[in-house]
Structure 1
Amino acid sequence: MRIPSRVIGGVLVATLLTQLTACGTLFYPDRRGQIEGKIDPVVAALDAIGILFYVIPGLIAFGIDFATGAIYYPGGTTAQVDPAKLKPAIDADGKVDNAKLQAILESELGQRLPLNDPRLIQHRGSVEQLAAYGLVPAA
């Protein structure tokens, strides 16, 4: 009875270790939060290996990597827009109109950004940051 329990334990440990290494979220935590981009073939291959050996955990790894955005290559580019050009996107209450903001960013940067994507993480600025740009904070 001792050998079958060691085999089962070994298989369980191997399963858990391969799933921990097959998730791009663990390999590339800095990529989390991306919405789209080119798929990293290394992460996709590791997730596919998870599907090959263990169907359910492999599908979960793919799902997590797509949901967090860790499966995509990092963008690596940054852009800046003059805050004065962004003022038309802010209404009198201090709220941002995503459609106007998207149009301004598209004309300034030449790229279409998916601001209406439900996975987009929005951060609120502090009162000091808003005052530096001459904006009135909304209640």
Structure 2
Amino acid sequence: MRIPSRLIGGVLVGALLTQVTACGSLFYPERRGQIDGHVDPVIVVADAVGLLFYIIPGLIAFGVDFATGAIYFPHGKTAQVAPEKLHEAVSADGKVDRAKLEAILQNELGRSLPLNDPRLIESRGSVEQLAMFGLKPAA
């Protein structure tokens, strides 16, 4: 009688632990912030394991991965734009004009990046990064 309850408890604990870690946001934190792309089947299967054992954690895992963009494959390319070309999008007071920046990126990269998307994750740079690109920090 004691062995089956331990076995069932061990299986439940193992399933819960795999579901807690079966989230693309934990496996691939560098993928966060993507807006679209091809869905990674490994992450889908890992999230679907939660649906097999527990409906709510599985749905939460899918929701988190789609909301953060971690469920999508990375595009496989890196893109760089010369800092001199980006100066056109920065006003004298240091504010970035998103429309100009979007046009520059479209022209240079050949890809449309929706900078007004509400899922866009924006991070601020440091003073050293701004100085490296020849920009002056503004308050």
TM-score, normalised to structure 2's length?
0.82
One-letter amino acid of the counterpart of residue 52, structure 1: L
Map Cα deviations across residues 94-138 of structure 1 (whole Å, 9 max, x no partner).
100111100110011100112122332323233343334343321
CA–CA distance in structure 2, aligned partners of residues 123 and 40 of structure 1: 25
Q: Comparing 81-90 with 23-32, which one deviates more in the overlay?
A: 23-32
Which residues of 2 match residues 50-65 of structure 1 at below 5 A? 50-65=50-65
Q: CA 1:19 to 1:40, structure 2 compared with 1: closer, same or farther past 3 Å? A: same
Q: Is the 8 A contact 2:22 2:43 kept in 1?
A: yes
Gaps of 5+ in 2: none
Partner of 1:32: 32
Matches within 5 A, 1:14-93: 14-93=14-93
Aligned counterpart, 2:113: 113
**Unpaired runs of 5+ in structure 1?**
none
User: Equivalent residue for 1:13?
Assistant: 13
TM-score, length-normalised on structure 1? 0.82
Judging changes above 3 Å, is the alpha-carbon distance between structure 1 residues 22 and 96 closer, same or farther for their aligned structure 2 residues? Answer: same
Aligned residue type for 1:69: G
Does structure 1 conserve the Cα–Cα contact (< 8 Å) formed by 2:31 and 2:72? yes
- Alpha-carbon deviations, 1:48-78, whole Å to 9, x = none? 2321332111101101211222211122211
Question: For the Cα contact (< 8 Å) 2:19–2:49, is it kept in 1?
Answer: no
- Once superposed, what is the RMSD of the aligned Cα atoms? 2.3
Identity of counterpart residues, as a percentage?
73
8 Å contact kept, 1:20–1:26? no
